[in-house]
Structure 1
Amino acid sequence: MSAHADIPAVPDWAAVRADFPLLERQVHGKPLVYLDSANTGQKPRSVIETVDAFYRRHNANVSRAVHALGSEATEAYEAARARLAAFVNVQADDLVLTSGTTMAINLVAYAWALPRLGPGDTILTTRMEHHANIVPWQLVAERTGATVRAVDVTDTGELDGDAVRAALTPDVKLFAFTHVSNVLGTVNPVREFCREARRRGIATLVDGSQALPHRQVDIAALGCDFYAFTGHKMCGPTGTGALWARREHLQAMPPFLGGGEMIREVSFERTVYNDPPHKFEAGTPNIAGHIGLGAAVDYLSSLGMAHVEAREAELRAHALDALRGIEGIRVLGAPREAAAVISFLVEGAHAHDLATLLDLEGIAVRSGHHCAHPLMACFGVAATCRMSMAFYNTHAEVDAFVAALAKVRRLLA
Structure 2
Amino acid sequence: AQLDAAAGPRWRTAETNRSAVAERLHQYYADGFGDRRPVQIDLDNASIALTILSGADWLSRPLDLRADEAAGRFTYDHDAAVVPQPESDTWRLAAATRLAECLVQETRFVDGQLYRMTGWESQPDGVRTSFTTGSFAQYALTVDLLEAETLAAVQTGGEALPLRDLMLPTVDSVLDPGSRNCMGGALALTAFARPAQGARPADFALLVQERGAKVLNASRRLAVIPKCFHEPTSEPTWDVSVGTSLARELEEELFGKPEVDTTLDTRRTVDPMHPDLLTGPMRYLTETSPAGWSMECTGFGFNLLTGNYEFPCLVAVHDEGFWHRCGGDVESNWESERITLVSSQDRAGLRSLARNPAWSDEGLFAFVLGLRRLHELHPERVALPHLEIGFTQ
TM-score under structure 1 length normalisation:
0.24
Question: Of Structure 1 and Structure 2, which has the larger fraction of its residues in strand?
Answer: 2
